[in-house]
Structure 1
């Protein structure tokens, strides 16, 4: 009987600890604490090929602004935030989104 109670305590402790730790220990938490873009491209993409555009401001995780574009085919690219075409595409996207509201 005492052995069963001890086993239940151990199982309960394991379950409790599994809920306290992140789902992928060291996975997503580590990815957020470093730059996501190693290389950037300055290639222009037409706005009809862009599915989403994510902008990450500089902060303690990364010393530079990062812009990640996801194309309609699912491919992701890190873009150079200083390119002229990117600012015009962002303005068009923002204008389009503000007109929808």
Structure 2
């Protein structure tokens, strides 16, 4: 086998492993797909690895809710919304958002007085 063939096979193997370990994502603008996630993972991902968490509600361009985590390493992972740990993550994010809203409302009330 030539070096070029070995390199191509190696890249393909790495891509297959990456896809099986984490949810595979595509930018819908470039791919023509409507949803961002092609595959979701149920595997736990430590919050220490999160750079950003995005939740996309069902819409006309994608009929299902999607959760996309951008990792500190730069990778992107789609989460299975039915996984127990993902449901707890969503609850924690909502509670955090409600707490921030409550603090802003309290600060606004104090400033008015």
TM band (smaller chain): 0.5 to 0.7
Structure 2 partner of 1:80: 80
Structure 1 residue 92: deviation in Å?
2.8
Structure 1 partner of 2:57: 57
Aligned residues: 75
Structure 1 residue 69: deviation in Å?
0.7
TM-score, length-scaled by structure 1: 0.59
Structure 2 partner of 1:39: 39
Q: Which runs of 5+ in 1 are unaligned?
A: 1-26
The change in CA–CA distance for 1:28 and 1:58 in structure 2 (over 3 A counts) is closer
Superposed CA deviations along residues 5-54 of structure 1, whole A, max 9, x for unmatched, are: xxxxxxxxxxxxxxxxxxxxxx9767697111111111111112111111
**RMSD value over aligned CA atoms?**
2.6
Superposed CA deviations along residues 75-98 of structure 1, whole A, max 9, x for unmatched, are: 101111111101212333444455
What SS is found at the alignment partner of 2:34? coil
TM-score, length-scaled by structure 2: 0.53
The change in CA–CA distance for 1:57 and 1:96 in structure 2 (over 3 A counts) is closer
Moved beyond 4 Å, runs of 4+: 27-33, 96-101
Q: 1 CA distance for matches of 2:32 and 2:81? A: 19
Q: Which runs of 5+ in 2 are unaligned?
A: 1-26, 104-113
